[in-house]
Amino acid sequence: MITLKIDGIEVQVPEETTVLKAAEKVGVWIPTMCHNDLFEPYAVCRLCSVEVVRGKRSRVVTACNYPVSEGIEVLTDSENIRWIRKFLMELILSRWPNVKVVKEMAEKLNVGKPRYESLEKDEAEDACILCGQCVNVCREVVQANVIGFSYRGIKREVVLPLGEQSDKCIVCGACALVCPTGHIKMVIEDYKGKKPEFTLGPKTSIYVPTMQGIPRVPVIDAESCIHFKTGGCEVCAKVCEPHAVNYDMKDEIVEIDVGQILLSTGYDIFDASKMTQFGYGRLNDVYSSLEFEMMLSSMGPTSGKVLTKDGKEPRSIGIVHCVGSRDTNHHPYCSRVCCMYALKFAHLVCDRTDAEIYQFYIDMRAFGKGYEEFYVRILDEGVKVIRGKVAEVSEVTSSGEYKNQLIIRCEDTLAGKILEVPVDMVILCNAIEPRKDIDAVRRLFSISKSPDGFFLERHPKLDPTSTMSDGIYIAGCAQGPKDIPDTVAQASSAAARILSYISKGEVEIDPVRAWIDDKYCAGCRICNNLCPYTAIDFIEEKKISQINDVLCKGCGTCVAACPASAITGKGFSDAQIVAELEGLLAI
């Protein structure tokens, strides 16, 4: 430990501490405009100049990078220091008179109008003040090295190498983050119609995947983390006191032996941009139901406030039901949950804003327990429900009362009139549709799908949770659109079925199976690929195929296909069939 005096106050700090840090410890303010703890001191603004007295000798140094040493006395407010700071500030102010941080610092240092006129004066409010923070953060923290200084002396400038956006730039935004004047801005490009600010993905590279989940620990998103792109940064490891950040953790594939599997792989939502009449992805303030759900969440991008894209509270909102469902062009089925969540949206919006709400529905399907009552309550809250399919959502481009609003065109089938409703925001109730990878999953487990594309159950009425593959069960929207109570019921039922097998300890299988006679099998492998239940394996050592009795359903495909007639259905061998035929014909 080193003992020194700062403005007469004695302080003890570890070796290699800078004077600036030591002063912070005792609460002595030293002005600085270029320092940032993220990187090594750069010492260009010189505002942190202090006087260091050692014995009779005194010298002016910069506090941000001067290492403390035993017995020195630091003067941060001597007459000379005040003069230096004011003078430097005058030079800075004369060059960038309108930059906020410069004006604030000038005020703190009692600098009024500068006495010098700068020929290079830049009157922009967000001018670059050449503090170098962006360059340093990019070089030392991010280690991407894509911003640098160019030109000498008064012509110095912050530039991109060769003036072009480098492909080494990982668009991390660190430079914009540290820029004190706002000279560097992140431009979010609206690409492919996606609104990045409303995606469901994490907002930072470190996030808690589910706030209600257990354990509630943050994770690092390796795809957006600077460290995994450049090897630099490691800011999180530096600030984490218990040293809990571990960059070596990786995704791993774990193999677990199980006897039964419950598939509850969920659903995707219908891409509303396919229905161009609704303008999703093209018009501002047309949201999908999940995006709006995100907006309503207190953890969401607007912290739960309902706001239009330009940050205002909407005066009216239209909620469009059956987007993609009950539509012969897309999905003929009913998605079952939209009516109720649309009503929930209306309820929450009523609660949080004064907006007028319009519901455009085909049929109001409020069939669950307490659902109809909720519908009546919404009607009491003043939500306008209009029966009719929306034909088009368009933007008002002309000036006038409805300028920049959206117009919903629709036929009110109860009143028999065509309506044009001006709204500030449109929420689309997207259809629930099967997951995009459903076919791959289906093949993996040898199960079928129904015409709507969801997993097919063994029997729609008597066995809605099991499948044609023994030991494979389905639950939730993987089987078909359903709401939470239904999903819970189905999943509980599947769990009960699974448990009953586990408690029994053994499995009975049908006697109808095929078997391969080793003597005749030539190892041609024709049967291997034909088996719809992937029950036939090729045994490399013996060069023959073998049937897994548990997987085999006795369908007989392999029996018919085997060129060597090595496969026989148990109980259905040629001899047995001939004998049966003979028995029949003998009558």
Cα–Cα dist 1/339, whole Å:
69
Query: Can you read off the two tokens belonging to residue 23?
Result: 């002063």
Give the nearer residue to another protein in terms of CB position, either 164 or 541.
164
Cα–Cα dist 482/87, whole Å:
72
Query: Can you read off the two tokens belonging to residue 65?
Result: 């990078």
Give the nearer residue to another protein in terms of CB position, either 66 or 292.
66
Q: Which stretch binds another protein (CB under 8 A): 112-120, 300-308, 337-345, 402-410?
A: 112-120
**Residues in 230-269 at the binding interface with another protein, rule: CB under 8 A:** none
Query: Can you read off the two tokens belonging to residue 392?
Result: 């088009």
Q: Least Å distance between CB 158 and another protein?
A: 11
Residues 6+ apart with CB under 8 A from 333: 325, 326, 452, 480, 481
Query: Can you read off the two tokens belonging to residue 194?
Result: 């996606």
Q: Least Å distance between CB 18 and another protein?
A: 9
Find the largest Cα–Cα distance for the chain. Answer: 131
Q: How many residues contact another protein, by CB under 8 A?
A: 36
Does 67 participate in binding another protein (rule CB under 8 A)? yes
**Residues in 372-431 at the binding interface with another protein, rule: CB under 8 A:** none
Q: Least Å distance between CB 116 and another protein?
A: 5
Does 118 participate in binding another protein (rule CB under 8 A)? yes
Long-range contacts of 253-262 (CB under 8 A, 24+ apart): 259/471, 259/501, 259/502, 259/507, 260/471, 260/472, 260/473, 260/498, 260/501, 260/502, 261/445, 261/471, 261/472, 261/473, 262/473, 262/474, 262/475, 262/491, 262/494, 262/495, 262/498
- Other CB atoms closer than 10 Å to residue 195's CB: what's the count? 17
Q: Least Å distance between CB 88 and another protein?
A: 6
Query: Can you read off the two tokens belonging to residue 462?
Result: 């008597």
Site for another protein (CB under 8 A): which residue of 4, 6, 13, 45?
45
Give the strand order in the sheet containing 406-412: 390-395, 406-412, 417-423
Q: Which stretch binds another protein (CB under 8 A): 6-14, 153-161, 212-220, 280-288?
A: 153-161
Does 91 participate in binding another protein (rule CB under 8 A)? yes
- Other CB atoms closer than 10 Å to residue 563's CB: what's the count? 9
Site for another protein (CB under 8 A): which residue of 20, 36, 74, 95?
95
Q: Least Å distance between CB 23 and another protein?
A: 16
Does 57 participate in binding another protein (rule CB under 8 A)? no
Cα–Cα dist 133/130, whole Å:
8
Task: Report cis status (omega within 30 of 0) of the bond before 97.
Answer: no
Site for another protein (CB under 8 A): which residue of 7, 21, 87, 344?
87
Does 2 participate in binding another protein (rule CB under 8 A)? no
Does 105 participate in binding another protein (rule CB under 8 A)? no
Residues 6+ apart with CB under 8 A from 558: 514, 527, 530, 531, 536, 547, 567
Does 187 participate in binding another protein (rule CB under 8 A)? no
Site for another protein (CB under 8 A): which residue of 36, 63, 66, 479?
66
Q: How wide is the angle at C-alpha 248 spanned by C-alphas 245 and 249, nearest 5°?
A: 80
Q: Which stretch binds another protein (CB under 8 A): 84-92, 323-331, 419-427, 463-471?
A: 84-92
Does 160 participate in binding another protein (rule CB under 8 A)? no
Does 166 participate in binding another protein (rule CB under 8 A)? no
Site for another protein (CB under 8 A): which residue of 30, 92, 233, 378?
92
Site for another protein (CB under 8 A): which residue of 56, 57, 113, 152?
152
Q: Which stretch binds another protein (CB under 8 A): 45-53, 70-78, 165-173, 474-482?
A: 45-53
Find out whether 146 and 169 touch, Cβ atoms under 8 Å.
yes
Does 53 participate in binding another protein (rule CB under 8 A)? no
Q: Which stretch binds another protein (CB under 8 A): 116-124, 168-176, 487-495, 569-577?
A: 116-124
Does 75 participate in binding another protein (rule CB under 8 A)? no
Q: CA end-to-end span of the chain, whole Å?
A: 111
Cα–Cα dist 140/68, whole Å:
23
Find out whether 362 and 322 touch, Cβ atoms under 8 Å.
yes
Does 120 participate in binding another protein (rule CB under 8 A)? yes
Does 80 participate in binding another protein (rule CB under 8 A)? yes
**Residues in 127-146 at the binding interface with another protein, rule: CB under 8 A:** 130, 132, 139
Does 156 participate in binding another protein (rule CB under 8 A)? yes
Does 119 participate in binding another protein (rule CB under 8 A)? yes
Does 116 participate in binding another protein (rule CB under 8 A)? yes
Cα–Cα dist 239/465, whole Å:
49
Does 62 participate in binding another protein (rule CB under 8 A)? yes
Does 345 participate in binding another protein (rule CB under 8 A)? no
Q: Which stretch binds another protein (CB under 8 A): 110-118, 312-320, 379-387, 474-482?
A: 110-118
Find out whether 178 and 134 touch, Cβ atoms under 8 Å.
yes
Residues in contact with another protein by the rule CB under 8 A: 41, 43-46, 49, 60-62, 65-67, 80, 84, 87-88, 91-92, 94-95, 115-116, 118-120, 130, 132, 139, 148-149, 151-156
